[in-house]
Amino acid sequence: MEHETTTSAEETISTARLFRQSFFPGAFAGVVADCFIHPMDTVRTRLQTGFAVLGPEGASNSKAYKNTLDVLFKIGRYEGIRGLYSGFSSVVTFTVPAHALYFAGYEFSKRYLLDGKKDLSAIETSACHFASGFVAEIGGAL
């Protein structure tokens, strides 16, 4: 019976490839997601906190916004598109490593748990993915 053995160098190359294929795309996915989600977060935050947009006269009323569309129109009118992305650099600073660690953590733990096992039941496979997701969440939360 012939057994396939992998050398330490092959494992290192394989691990490096897995790292590149999960870490960097994870970081990129986080930035792309934030590009679309951040404006909605800005609108939600302004609506919840009542943070007022200062008009041309420099004063704001006590009730800054009526509804979501009002927030959008006022931000667009007084701050432009940049207003929707205020604070974006701070968010991206933490999103990039969080998403990168999430994706890498999922792939590394899934690879470790499966490790060539082919005849797993549906429950075992689901448990592997659940555990990998748990590890990914811990990595992303760091």
Specify the pLDDT at position 14: 79
- At 4-15, the pLDDT tens digits run 555 566 666 677
Specify the pLDDT at position 89: 94
pTM exceeds 0.75, yes or no: no
- Residues of the chain with pLDDT > 90: what percent? 54
Q: List the one residue out of 46, 55, 142 whose CA is nearest residue 87.
A: 46
Alpha-carbon distance 5 to 52, whole Å? 65
Alpha-carbon distance 43 to 60, whole Å? 17
